[in-house]
Amino acid sequence: MINDFILQNFSDHVTLNEKEKEQLVSVLIPRAFKRGEILIKAGEQPRYLLFVNAGYLMTSYTDSNGNDHVIQFAGAGWWSADIYSAFDMQATTYDTKALTDGEVMLLPRLGQLHLLECSIVFERYFRVVFQKGVLRQQRRYIEAVATSAEERYKSFISAYPSIAAKVPQKYIASYLAITPEFLSKIKKKMLDVI
């Protein structure tokens, strides 16, 4: 069933009773996406949190020179959102784009607020998920200022092997704040060592 994956994700963090499962499912909207499609566009106010059922998404910032800077990837079982914009009801500065075909479950902002009011278990779930997201961002920042590009790439492929295998290298390079050419040199050097 389409809801099984997200229900499993919730049960990995909290225990939902049958009523809570029904409440969750009642506010979710399944949506398929195609490779290259923009699900959330910079300048718009995000209306949904996105839970990825299948496929890969990328959230990026485009600078004044037209260069994309990858902020995050999201694969199956991950949430994707500009949390600041979603909660502050402001326009986002990021695009969220589909890197593959896939499907998301949309959680409208009002639906999330409804869940948070219905049961403390939903507050607990989102607190845990958002805390983990903040910790990942902090770890990424420390890696960016304290490690070499090669070390960052090794850490990335160790932490996210499925993303490294499925996502175009130019986006991984952007995420690591290096050029695609430099990433190619790192990968060649790693292959030469093997």
Nearest of 47, 181, 21 to residue 104 by alpha carbon: 47
Decide: 109 and 86 in contact? Cβ < 8 Å: yes
Q: What pLDDT is stored for residue 93 in this prediction?
A: 93
pLDDT at 2: 66
10-residue averages of pLDDT along the chain (194 residues)? 85 95 96 96 92 96 92 94 78 94 95 94 94 90 91 91 89 93 90 72
At which residue do the structure tokens 């566009």 appear? 41
**Contact status, residue 76 vs residue 55, Cβ threshold 8 Å:** yes
CB neighbours (10 Å) of residue 150? 17
HEC sequence for 85-100 = HHHHCCCCCCEEEECC
